[in-house]
Amino acid sequence: MGNFIILVNRIISAMTAGMVVVIIGFASSAALIYQTVINLGGDASIASSWILMLGLTMGGTSIGLSLYYRLPILIAWSTPGAALLIANTQGFNLNEAVAGFMVSGGLILLCGLTGWFEKLINRIPFQLASAMLAGILVNFGIAVFDQMNEAPWMVIAMLVTYFISKQLLPKFTMLLVLVCCILLAWQFDLVSAKDLSWQVSEFSYIAPEFNLEVILGISLPLFIVTMAAQNLPGIAVLKAHNYDVPISSILSCSGFVNMIFAPFGCYAINLAAITAAICMTDEVSEAPEQRYWAAVAGGVFYLLMAISAGYLMTVFAVLPNTLIYSLAGIALFTTIAGSLHNTVVVSKVSEASVITFLVTASGITLWGMSSVLWGLIIGSVMLFIQKTLKKQA
């Protein structure tokens, strides 16, 4: 009887952690994915296809990898990647974007097969990668306060909910903000229940259109952000919990899946970091070797999310743009703060880091290359010059 109770408690703990992981992940960045599709010329049906495919691929890979390696390997979509796509895809259409996703996935697969990942990441200075990410995201944070010109009381209510929840219920902060967002929309008669209806999720195939501008403007920035801002922290979290990580195998799997299913909306999947840590706590299991069941449970809930994709995207489709932009920006506050901390504090305010941040945030496009690549290039050149002159001094 005692063993049965222990087993039940273990199952409940794993299922709870898995459900929390998916709720946090969805609430934090679903608005970003929806806005990415809209910016590329798509609609709610295309967005639901993306969520459907992302849910299936994240769920399938999380379950498969966790069971095979008996490690809590949680796969997630790239939140910074979605933010990058919103800010960096002007002038591209869905077909070109899909081509960019495929090339980015192919590069991740190549890193896994060749073992080049650590060498590649080591050549990108950590402070410059953080500055680049901060430059990508900072405009989303600013946009939250810009929306006050349109709907001040709604945005203020969302911010108050965020700040209070962050202190009292940090794990459920974005879920509560999302609920607040929807309730406010109903309260101000911006949406009604009749606008919402259950829809069956359907796959939408988008044929890729390859060109050099797509590779420079979408593939390379998305690859860098996914590797530096997602996979690297994900590996660090696993190692911090004393798990022997099969890095190359995980990258090969996620890159291959990303590349194959990109035409259906799998823009970027990678190792989860913050949410993955929820699967590795003592609350899940006192035995570290049993915690992989929480990641398996997370995979199951991802699959359930995928089935509900059509309805979930209908909810976002009826919400006003003001609330969508505000929700997306608020969801990125923590990531922006961490990136700025690494840029300013960890790098000790290196001019190269500051320049990388400013160039990336500027949105310049020269010779077919985005501000993200220019920021990294100019920052790297400045850092090289600084180190060279310092050695000679």
Residue written as tokens 């996620």?
254
Distances (CA, A) of 190 to 176, 194, 307: 19, 12, 27
Average pLDDT, the chain: 82
- Average pLDDT, integer, range 222-229: 84
DSSP per position, 215-279? IIIIIHHHHHHHIIIIIHHHHHHHHHTT----HHHHHHHHHHHHHHHGGGT---EEE-SHHHHHT
- Average pLDDT, integer, range 63-75: 94
Of 72-86, 138-152, 331-345, 360-374, where does the model show the most confidence? 72-86
Distances (CA, A) of 303 to 19, 306, 309, 346: 11, 5, 10, 39
pLDDT at 89: 77
Helix (H) or strand (E) holding 77: strand 75-77
Other C-beta atoms lying within 10 Å of the C-beta of residue 279: 30
Residue 273 vs residue 270, higher pLDDT = 270
pLDDT band at 198 (very low <50, low <70, confident <90, very high): low
How far from each other are the two terminal CA atoms of the chain, in whole angstroms?
A: 74
* Closest alpha carbon to 283 in 171, 204, 145, 154: 171
Under a CB-based contact definition with an 8 Å cutoff, are residues 53 and 61 in contact?
no
- Average pLDDT, integer, range 240-263: 90
- Average pLDDT, integer, range 214-221: 90
pLDDT tens figures, 163-192: 998 888 776 777 788 788 778 777 777 665
Other C-beta atoms lying within 10 Å of the C-beta of residue 91: 9
Residues belonging to the chain:
393
pLDDT at 108: 94
pLDDT band at 110 (very low <50, low <70, confident <90, very high): very high
Per-residue buried b or exposed e for 263-278, using 16+ beta carbons within 10 Å of the residue's own CB: bbbbbbbbbbbbbbbb
Residue 196 vs residue 10, higher pLDDT = 10
Residue 150 vs residue 268, higher pLDDT = 268
Tokens of 62: 């999380």
* Closest alpha carbon to 27 in 177, 163, 159, 199: 177
Other C-beta atoms lying within 10 Å of the C-beta of residue 315: 18
Tokens of 158: 């969302």
**Bridge partners of residue 270, in order along the sequence:** 76
Alpha helix segments (H runs only) across the chain: 2-39, 44-69, 79-88, 94-114, 117-123, 126-146, 152-168, 173-187, 212-214, 220-226, 232-240, 247-261, 274-278, 292-307, 309-318, 321-331, 333-341, 351-362, 371-392
> Is a pLDDT exceeding 90 seen at residue 69?
yes
Angle, alpha carbons 53-55-58 (nearest 5°):
105
